[in-house]
Structures are given as structure tokens and as C-alpha cells.
Structure 1
Amino acid sequence: MRRISGIALLTRAAASMGGATAATSATQHRLVQAAMLSTCSNSNPLWFTHRLGDRFGLSRPSTAAPCAGGHVCFSTNAAASLAQEPHAHEKFLSKDVELYQYEACPFCNKVRAFLDYYNIPYKVVEVNPISKKEINWSDYKKVPILKVDGEQMVDSSDIIDKLYLRINHENPVLNGEEEMKWRRWVDNHLVHVLSPNIYRTVSEALESFDYITSHGNFSLYERMVAKYTGAAAMYFVSKKLKKRHNITDERASLYGAAETWVDALNGRQFLGGSNPNLADLAVFGVLRPIRHLKSGKDMVENTRIGEWYARMESAVGESARVKA
């Protein structure tokens, strides 16, 4: 009865905020979509069901061989060997780096993890998910978008590929099968177990949307509507996602993914060896938004991933974000 009452409360709260007009109803619908981060893009979105293609990506340098999924292949030691150079970020010659993002978007966090790890100073433009006025200049209406000296880059994995090649342009190392395998695993599997977990119960759905709305660029009204309407909607959507991805037990699936990742390390500090590689950064980036939610806390407490995550926090270090 308590669970049913909670759902009813969410539904009534969502309905009561919208008023009766068609315009307000449409606003509610946009708010739900926005708060769900349905415009947070990647080859395989984290919290949503639609596959978002990379329609406006720039062509890769001819020296980079594309792998399956449209990524660039690097060796498992490529990022690690670069990290050993104390001034690797100085090879990144661009002076103006701007990330258009949602703070809670896992794929934006992937890009930020890369920028932070390589200590590339970047400005953040937090996009209002309703008006999207901050990205009116672009034909691409999803995030993340990265502007590097005016050049637009889109799709988190593609952005990271391009940034890596800019840093390591003198001697790009290709064909890292293990690294690419686990980068694809992040996009094709890990992301799909997160949504059923962060919206598993009414209280977790509210917790998740409280985080999304408090860290996003919402007005007070948008924040209130998005929190309760979005939480109610995603509680039910998550059940469909659970069925779609053949998940019978949400936590067991999350714990299994965490243990699978630790097994892949095979005793190494990181998949990249003594330093993180691009797969380490991808897993860390995607998990970072949920780390202090109930699902993330449960994951760390009930699996072996906590030590690796702590090492990643130390390796990535302080944010390289600068004031706009």
C-alpha cells in the first residue's frame, strides 16, 4: 500500500502542476523529455530507449582507422603511455574549449572525465533542456557538444577519439582490441543497466530527478515540474526498459556489470595497466553521475568495484573546468 500511495502521490503532483491548458500540457511533456535527458546523445543513450546517430560529426584524420561502431581504434597502452608524460596536455594546442552539456548527463561526464584526466582547460555552458537557447547556433540539438577553437564536435565517444588524436597526433597507435571491446561494452551494455536501477523505486526516481534538476539549468518552475513529472514518468518507463533489456533483477544486473568490469582488469590497477586508458575513462565517466545515488552506493558496497573507482578518482584528479 505504501508503494501504491507513493506512485499515486507522484501522479497527482505531476498532474496538479500542469494546469488544464493545452499549452501547459505541452510544456509538461517537454519538461519530462528534457528532465529525462532525452537529448543527451551517444551511440547508445544511457537513460533512454532511442539510438541517437552521429549526424554532424566531422571526418576523422586519414591516419585513424575506424573500428566497428564508428570509433577510432587505439592500442590498450596508448592512453597509458601518454599519461606517463608529465606535460601531455601541452600537446593539445587549442586555446578555446567549450563543453555544452547537462551536468547530470552520463555521456557529458565521459567527455569531462577525459578533459579532467588530461588536464585540458575547458569552459562549461550548461544548456537549458527546454529552450536549448545555448545551442541555437548549432543544427545539432543534443549534448554533449564540444567546441574547440570554433570547431564543433558531437557524440561523446567520437569527441574523445578526436581529442585523443589531437593530443597524440605525432604517433597515433591503432588497433587496440581490448580497449575498444570495453568502450563498446560501456555503450552497449553498462548504460542499459543503469536506468532500471536509478528509477527502480519511487524514492529512487525522486532522488534521481532531484539530482538532475538541481544540477541542471532549470528555472524554479521547470525544476518542480520536471522533478515530479519526470520521476513519475521514468518510474514506469524504467519497467519497460527492464523488460526490453531482459533484466529480471535490477541490482543483480548492476552488480554483475560491476563485477564483469573488475574481472576484465585481471589484477591490473586499470585496464590500461598502471594508468587509465580510454575504456577506464568511459566506465568512470558513465558511473560518476550515479556514484552518490542509492544505486551507486549499493554498487560500491556490494561489489569489488569500489577500489578501482577510488583509484580512478585519484587518477582523474581535480576538474580542469575554468570559468567562462
Structure 2
Amino acid sequence: MKTKQMERIRTGKGFIAALDQSGGSTPNALKEYGVSASSYSNDEEMYVLVHEMRKRILTSAAFDSKHILGAILFENTIHRKTEGLDTADYLWENKGVVPFLKIDDGLAELRDGVQRMKPIAALDERLARARDKHIFGTKMRSVIKEANKAGIRGVVDQQFELAEQIIEAGLVPIVEPEIDIFSKDKAESEKWLLEMLQDRLTRLSPESNILLKLSIPSVDDFYFELTKNPQVVRVLALSGGYSLQEANERLARNQGLIASFSRALAEGLSAEQTPEQFDAILGRNIESIYDASVN
């Protein structure tokens, strides 16, 4: 199974859907979906509602392996069922979509122009649970706000140190050092980030594989050389706050990058839509993201 999943992610046409809103971002995701905070009174009720939203996306006929290679899930999701199966098993067995897991515990406070990840509690146990639930890989996110060389170095070092632990556990990590699209010196941050990513890639063991998830660069094809690195399975692009249309337009100008959109993927979806309306909007979103990803 792992070999088939690796081949699909490495060579398949399509993109990776990001359905990994965490406890911090879930209320806003539900609000955009038309579910107000008054609809739930505690975290468990909130997670039930967001799982229903995710299930609606995953089980839609529009969500298929023709367009979608993988999906990133929140840990709460992998312990819930979709059509009678663990959600990760449903994705692979019923949809042919490779399951990933968001593994980080959110962002630390801003320091040196960046937000590194908070310490990840009981990471080994979390990785063991992921394997038990048939997860293929993981995702972890940091954010770069300013072109601070020391800060960016700290983000990249933390990401790769954890990536090596994840690889050792038999999973494939998505390294996500996001650069804030509204940063005034975004292009300069990208130069430092590219240099540091290339340096850390040279230090990976030859058999190690990772994915990179990056903000769409200010200069078209700036990250193209990363897509040619044999240890980089794919380079993913995050939407980062762009609208679906703008994210697609920017992505389409970058050879070798494929989408891993979250907010943009769900743009226009609402809890009150009929199944036909929901599937039509989701289908249009998926088709447009796919088209931008296979340029």
C-alpha cells in the first residue's frame, strides 16, 4: 500500500486537499460554512459539526481521485468514521486518495520575525496512532512574517529536525514553512528560505523523502529547482489567504507546483446548500484547482 501511495503522490496528476483545520481555526471555518458559534457550546460539539462539513466534502462525487491525490486531516478526524470506516481508510479504499495528518500543535508566539511550532506533545505516540490509522504522511506548519535570517533558519531547522523523526517512524512529512503573503519583505524571505531549504535537503539521508508546502512565490518559478530534487516527492502550494481565483492564477504560472488549498477549496460552500448546489460549487472549485496544478 505504501508503495502505491508513494507512486501516486510522486507522479499523479492532481492536488492535495487540506482539510486539517485545528481547534484554533475551526470556528472560522465553520463560520465561513454558515455555522455560527451559537450552534455549539463546547469543543466536542464543534468537532462534530466540522466533521460533518468534512464528511460532506469527502463523500461528494466531486471529490475524486481523478483530481485529488491526497487529503490532509486533523487528528480529531482520523478517530471518526466516514460511511462506517475510519476516515483515512475511507479516503484510500473508497476514493483512492492518500491520507495525511496534521501533526503540529499550532504556532508559538512571534519571535525573530517568525512563529515556530509549539513543542509537539507525545510525538512518538501520535505517530504510532497515525500508523495504526493507516496514515501515509504528516504535515506541520510554521509561519514567517519578516525577512529575519536567524528566524527563518530557526523555522527550517525545527521543521527538518521533526521531519527526520517522522521519517524514522515510517511516515512521509510535509514540511510547511509558510511565508505570510502580506509580509512587506516576502520576496527577501523567499530568498533566505530557498537557500536554507537547499542546505537542509543536502543533509537528509539518501533514502529520506519529504514534501514541501510553500507560499506561492513572488517571482514565478522561483521554487522550480526544488521540484527537481529527487528527495522532494512534491512541492505543494498553499493558498495563504488569496481568493480561489487569485491563488489559481498565481499557481498556474509556477511549473511543477501543485495545490494544497484549504480555505480556497471550500470557497462558496454552505451548510444550507442542497446536495446538488454543494456538489456543483465544490466540483467547480476542484476542477479549477486541478487545472492550475497540472500546468
TM exceeding 0.5: no
Could you state the TM-score of these two structures normalised by the residue count of structure 2?
0.28
**Larger Cα Rg: Structure 1 or Structure 2?**
1
Higher relative contact order at CA 8 Å, sep ≥6: structure 1 or structure 2? 1
Q: Is the helix fraction higher in 1 or 2?
A: 1
Q: Is the strand fraction higher in 1 or 2?
A: 2
